[in-house]
């Protein structure tokens, strides 16, 4: 006789491949993780579902791409809504994954035995950004066409391989039919496949490391997690509720606001100003102040190597699970935020008035970007040693503060590029 509860047992067993059988009751609080990982997963599935629907209408050819988007918006039942959901989910996913990365970092959830999962998370973040970037061009309107044009032109500054790499990415010397086909294939096939491989591996590594690192206060005993409760229903119900909330928010916002669509792309008429996609505007802003080789290669590569090395640095204490390492660590992180905001704004204003006009430094040093880069490198090095010597910070606290300084500076550059650059990329007041 068939077991009437067989389907429930199978469902429970399937879920427990991704979740432990029991979890401490106190770890169920939303404020510990804010559901960022689960939210990202929901957005990924939303993107796949809506993307599959859009493929039935969209045509990846310059002479038909824009018209197919117009047809989708006007003639396909719920077409505009589906595109809105896809656009919101794509941009929301970049923000959510970034916030998730910050949560992992500031709770020390990257140390042994989770180093590899930090690397996997960075790879997934890169795939998310590239997925958003390759999808940005597909509407083939003025904003998307010129955003891709300006951002891919940055590749020209890579020594040796830049021009060839740009032509390979674009399928030519400038955005055209080859670009649209390349971006469409990467956006709809390659990157989704990579994400569908990376995410399960990411979850499996979490299980292998005995579950999530639960954020706690510095004086809280990590072994006193409270009474154990069954994952099903206590954890699963909460995760389902969070998923439903995310879906509801996306749906409501998608009903109120339409995804942007400007005039059809015109290669002969660029908008003024022409800006890269918002997540690359920080790099575009760097180009305003540094030699292109430093802005496009040296600085991003240095930061990338730094991010990869974070789990493998030597730390004084095991702060896994402790928010901001310690009370001092929290204070130093706030200090880093204040210094980054003040220093970045002051540096941008000073550069506009002084370095650009060649008032400081020899013309050769300014033109090659050595002086601005040397100043920034010296400032970061000095800040690190100030933390170590002046504030007696541990390695954990000093690395955290330096990470905070650089992250905040990049966010400030992004904000300046988006809202404070006007016609001719001149500084202006927002609005």
Sheet strands (E) in 139-198:
none
CATH 1.20.810.10 correct for 30-218+232-262: yes
Q: For residue 351, what pLDDT is reported?
A: 82
CA distances in angstroms from 328 to 214, 317, 324, 382, listed in the order given: 20, 14, 8, 19
Which DSSP string do the residues of 372-422 spell out, in sequence order? Answer: HHHHHHHHHHHHHHIIIIIS---HHHHHHHHHHHHHHHHHHHHHHHHHSB-
What is the end-to-end Cα distance of the chain in Å, rounded? Answer: 71
Report the alpha-carbon distance of residue 422 to residue 206 in Å, rounded.
45
Q: Which pLDDT score is estimated for 11? A: 46
Please report where in the chains the tokens 């066409």 appear, as a residue. 145
pLDDT of residue 361: 44
What distance in Å separates the CA atoms of residue 140 and residue 265, rounded to the nearest whole number? 6
Distance set, CA 418 to CA 193, 349, 350 (Å): 31, 16, 19
Spans of all domains in the chain: 30-218+232-262, 273-431
CB count within 10 Å of CB 102 equals: 14
**pLDDT given at position 354:** 62
The pLDDT value recorded for residue 59 is: 96
Closest CA to 44 of 92, 103, 114: 92
* Integer Rg of the chain from CA: 24
- pTM for this one? 0.88
For the chain (431 residues), the mean pLDDT of every run of 10, in chain order, is 51 53 68 83 95 96 96 96 98 96 92 90 95 96 95 89 91 92 96 91 78 62 63 74 94 97 94 93 90 89 94 87 90 97 92 58 50 86 94 95 97 96 86 53
């Amino acid at each position: 006789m068939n077991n009437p509860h067989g389907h429930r047992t199978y469902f429970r067993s399937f879920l427990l491949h991704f979740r432990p059988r029991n979890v401490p009751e106190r770890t169920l609080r939303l404020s510990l993780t804010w559901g960022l990982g689960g939210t990202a997963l929901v957005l990924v599935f939303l993107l796949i579902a809506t993307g599959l629907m859009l493929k039935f209408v969209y045509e990846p050819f310059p002479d038909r791409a824009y018209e197919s988007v117009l047809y989708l918006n006007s003639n396909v039942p719920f077409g505009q809504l589906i595109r809105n959901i896809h656009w919101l989910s794509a941009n929301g996913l970049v923000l959510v994954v970034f916030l998730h990365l910050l949560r992992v970092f500031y709770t020390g959830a990257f140390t042994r035995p989770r180093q590899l999962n930090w690397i996997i998370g960075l790879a997934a973040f890169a795939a998310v950004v590239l997925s958003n970037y390759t999808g940005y061009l597909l509407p083939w309107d003025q904003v998307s066409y010129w955003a891709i044009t300006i951002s891919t032109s940055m590749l020209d500054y890579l020594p040796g391989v830049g021009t060839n790499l740009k032509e390979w990415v674009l399928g030519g010397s400038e955005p055209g039919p080859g670009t649209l086909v390349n971006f469409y294939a990467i956006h709809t096939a390659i990157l989704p496949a990579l994400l569908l491989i990376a995410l399960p591996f990411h979850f499996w590594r979490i299980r292998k490391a005995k579950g999530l690192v639960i954020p706690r206060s510095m004086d809280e005993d990590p072994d006193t997690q409270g009474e154990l409760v069954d994952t099903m229903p206590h954890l699963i119900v909460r995760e389902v509720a969070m998923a439903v909330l995310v879906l509801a928010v996306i749906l409501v916002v998608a009903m109120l606001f339409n995804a942007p669509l400007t005039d059809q792309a015109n290669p002969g008429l660029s908008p003024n100003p022409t800006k890269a996609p918002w997540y690359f505007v920080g790099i575009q802003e760097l180009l305003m102040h540094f030699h292109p080789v430093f802005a496009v290669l040296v600085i991003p590569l240095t930061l990338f190597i730094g991010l990869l090395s974070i789990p493998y640095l030597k730390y004084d204490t095991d702060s896994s699970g402790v928010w901001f390492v310690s009370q001092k660590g929290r204070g130093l992180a706030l200090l880093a935020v204040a210094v980054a905001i003040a220093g970045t704004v002051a540096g941008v204003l000073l550069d506009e008035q002084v370095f650009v006009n060649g008032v400081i430094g020899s013309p050769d040093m300014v033109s090659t970007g050595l002086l601005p880069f040397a100043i920034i490198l010296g400032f970061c090095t000095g800040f690190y040693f100030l933390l170590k010597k002046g504030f007696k910070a541990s390695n954990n606290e000093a690395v955290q503060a330096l990470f905070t300084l650089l992250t905040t500076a990049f966010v400030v550059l992004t904000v300046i590029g988006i809202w404070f650059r006007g016609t001719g990329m001149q500084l202006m007041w927002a609005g």
